[in-house]
Amino acid sequence: MAKQHDRQGYKAPQLVLTRRAAVAALVALATIERQRAEVGSLPAQNWSLRVTEVWRKSGSDWQLAHRHADPLIERRSLEQTAALAKGPAKDE
């Protein structure tokens, strides 16, 4: 049985499959890893990730060929997205 909580009492991440595709010996998965965590000196908060993985069949095993994850799972307006893309203001 999978561990339900870590030593700080946080629940184990919940994996939500959003899309999948398979071609020959390749499988692509799009998932959301829902979790709460403390990162650095920040208090515990939602730290869910949007994840894309590509798996490759090698003999009788599956090997992870690619993984990308980012925290952009919440909807954002065009203005919010543009501000994220621009990054922090730089001193000139």
Query: Quick one: pLDDT band at residue 10, thresholds 50, 70, 90?
Result: low
Q: Is the pLDDT of residue 2 over 50?
A: no
* Model confidence, pTM: 0.68
Contact 30, 10 (CB under 8 A): no
CB 51 within 8 A of CB 35: no
Q: What is the mean pLDDT of residues 17-42?
A: 93
Tokens representing 3 are 């561990």
Taking only the tens place, the pLDDT of each residue in 34-90 is 998 888 898 988 889 999 999 999 999 999 999 999 887 788 889 988 888 888 887
Separation between Cα atoms, residue 22 and residue 74, nearest integer Å: 27
Q: Which domains does the chain have, with CATH numbers?
A: 14-86 (3.10.450)
